Structure formats: C-alpha cells, structure tokens
Amino acid sequence: MTNVVLLVSDEHNPRYSSTYGHEVVRTPHLDRLAAGGTVYENAYCPSPLCVPSRTAFMAGRYTHETQAYNNSKVLERRHPSYGGVLAEQGVHTVYVGGGANLYRDPFALGFSEMLGVTRTGKGLGTHAIQAERPSSKPMSTTTAHGPVEDMYAPEGAHIDTAIDWLQTRAPGLGRPWTMTIEINPPHPPYSTEPRYWEMYQGLGDLPAHGIEQESAQHPAAQDVRDNGRWDFSAELVRDLRQGYFGAVTYVDDQLGRLRDTLDAAGLTEDTVVCYATDHGEMLGKFGMWGKTSLYEDSVRIPLVAAGPGFTPGQRVSTPVTSLDLQAALFHAVGARRPEAWRGAPLQLIPTDDASRPAFASYHGHNVRGGSFMLRLGEWKLLYHSASPHQLFNLREDPEELVNRWADRPDVASRLESELRAMCDPEAVDRDAEAVRQRQYHQVQALADQYGSETRLVPWEES
C-alpha cells in the first residue's frame, strides 16, 4: 500500500536551489529528497499565475479547459477535483493549508479532510480586471523586505497540523492516503524571518541579464514592466533577492520537518514524497519581477519525487508539467484517472524523450493578449496573440536571449503545428477576453451598486 505526501510552495523558481545548481541558495532537504528520488529538470506549470495554475492542477485540465484564466476566476463545479475523484475510489485524501481559499467553496472539492481551511467570503477586486488590455491601471509592486519576526507563523501552523496528522492518523488508517500541503513562501513580500535573512546577509546579488537584452524589449516583457513600478536601485534589488533566498530555505526546512516525521513514524518506505510549486519568479531578470511571463524563470518549476516508483539519483530531462505530477498521485495509489484529464504519470515517463511536448499558456493581467508555450526537445515556442512570436533553443541558449523565429522557420512551423494540435490559440484568446470582459462589467455593476471602484467580486458570482 503506497501513500503520498505532496508539499506545494508558491512562486519558487527552481534555479534558486542547490538541487538545481545554485551556488548560494541552500536547500539541503530537497537535495536529500533528490538523492533518494528523481529530479525533473524541465518541469513546467500550466500557467504562470496562482489561480490558473492551481485550478489546472486541481482539475487535471489545461487553463483554457477550466477557463480560470486569471486570479479572479475560480474552479467551476463542473470540474471534479483530484481529491474528490480519489476519495470516491476509497483513497483518503487530506488537504492542509490556505491555498484552497482560492476556490469558491473549498469544502465542495471532495477531499476526505480539509485542515487549516476556512470557508471564504472574499473575492478578487479590480486589480486584475481592467477595461483594456494591457491593464490601464498599473499593478502595485511589493517591495517590502527585511527580517520580520514570526513571518511564517501561518505556514508553521500548517506544517504542525500536517505533522500531527502523520503522527496520529496515518499509521492506523488502513487504506491508501494522500496529503497535499500548500504554503505561501517564497511568494512576495520579499521579507523573511530573521535567521533566514541573516543566513544570506550580503549574498543578495544582481540578475545576470537585465533590460538591455533583446528578450527584455519584447512587447510581452514590456507589458509586465509597464504595469508596475520596477525602477529599483541596485541595493534594493540585492535586498529583495536576499529575502527571496531566505524564503526558499525556509520552505526547504519545512520539507525536512515532514521527511523527519515520516521517518520517525515508520512511513517512509511506503510513501511517495513530492515537492513542487505553482509557478516561478522572474526575480529581476530582464527587469521583470513576479510571474505572468512564459520565460523559463516564470513558467518553469522545481519538481522532485522520491519513494516507490521513483529511481534514486535519477535526473529526467523530458519536459513534464504539474499535470503529470497530478497523474503520478493516481498511479502511486493505484487509482483510475478520468480519461479526459491531461498528463501522464511521472513514473512512466522516459528520462530523455525529445518527442514529448509540454504546454502552458497565460491570459491574466499585465498583457495585451494571450500567450502560449510549446516546449519540444531543445526548442521552445512562445506564440503571442498580440505581439511577435519567439523561438528559443534552450540547449544553446538556456537564458532565452536570442529569438530564432526568423532564421528557423522549419522548427517554428513544426512547433506551431504541435501547439495547434493542443488548442486553437486564436479561439482561446477570444474566449479569455470574453471571460475577462464579463468579469469587468460585473465589477463595474457592483461598484455602481455599492459606490466603490474596488468592490470585491464574490466567488459565487464569478
């Protein structure tokens, strides 16, 4: 009988970890997980924004299938959750954390237990829903940083809850179980608890590639920069990155606490342990901060899994997505997955398959139109509905500095054909815009009714 523990952080760019080769950011517990399991070197999220990515993972469908295109559109009940589908087959499914508050009614998702979750009456305001594309109202940029006492008290409480369940409930349950734990770091603000701030004192650095690069001048990149305040001093950039480094190591320590609990409870041998995140973080590269881009730093995620079915010390170069991770949960516990769901179990994916595509898309705030990513082997296509397309050779150019669209039309055509086999990008962009317009008019109607331009849209009405 195999069980699963999945720890999901928020906004972790994999390059900022010793597991993926960073020389400064320390992630010893993730390193230990990698040594005993498999590292996925080219893992991607379905969409580089919190709610679209998490709803896709919850429902096993691409973003254009859930229609949760932005942070103001939640998972609709016509899409069952993986927690509910597993529970219907006798698997005990546990969710721990605050991330389920992103959904209209988290208790309707069908998990066997939801711990640390409360029903939420809040919604999303106008920050992500503007009349024009790109947003006519600039986004605020979080520049808070530095040491903050008890910064991670909510996250610590969630990990404590998970540990208590693993110690008291899991050993005698008598049937397969899965536990998903979601925590917020290293998502901004770029503050961290004092010991993690001090750990990287003086080690905050500057991004190697700034706004002088061709890729930084692309309209999609400019949209992100134009809808925020990014004119940071070099000193502030170093401080923001220092805080982010500390937050990553905090997350790693929580992974260590969970692993130690499994060891002490005698559960390690029969438990698959996975670590992933919802999307990456540009962290100043190309002058961009946050996510909302299909460049590697924003759309690529860390993904490490160990336990039954995963080969110790193995590194997989085949492109995968978090939908493959979701499929891996089903495979681990021997459950059936709905045929229409996307992805294949990680355990069954070859280590170096250049013919397997990875797909992602973005339709949220900050951009003038939707964008689509198709990764195939060493090549990566960024198909933009409202700006010039981009093509990168990630083997020769892992930092995405040189657009090869013009000089490799053969590759561009092949990847575009693969993309169109997955979706009609023009039709999807029209649908995303129609959804956004409905949301905008709904916000305006509420503003007219209540006399506030920042009125929240209740989930039930979204």
User: Per-residue pLDDT tens for 256-307?
Assistant: 999 999 999 999 999 999 999 999 999 999 999 999 999 999 999 999 999 9
Instruction: Give the orientation angle of helix 234-264 with respect to helix 28-35, to 10 degrees.
Output: 50
For the domain spanning 3-351, the CATH number is: 3.40.720.10
- φ/ψ of 232, rounded to 5, equals -85, 145
The stretch 244-254 carries a mean pLDDT of 99
Angstrom distances, CA of residue 345 to CA of 409, 418, 419: 33, 21, 21
pTM of the predicted protein model: 0.95
pLDDT of 199 > 70? The answer is yes
Question: Which residues, other chains included, contact 157 with Cβ-Cβ below 8 Å and sequence gap of 6+?
Answer: 116
pLDDT of 103 > 90? The answer is no
Residues 336, 384: Cα–Cα separation, whole Å? 36
Band of residue 143 on the pLDDT scale cut at 50, 70, 90: confident
Name the token pair of 327: 């499929």
The stretch 114-138 carries a mean pLDDT of 60
Band of residue 99 on the pLDDT scale cut at 50, 70, 90: confident
pLDDT of 129 > 60? The answer is no
- φ/ψ of 95, rounded to 5, equals -120, 130
Domain boundaries, given as residue ranges, for the chain: 3-351
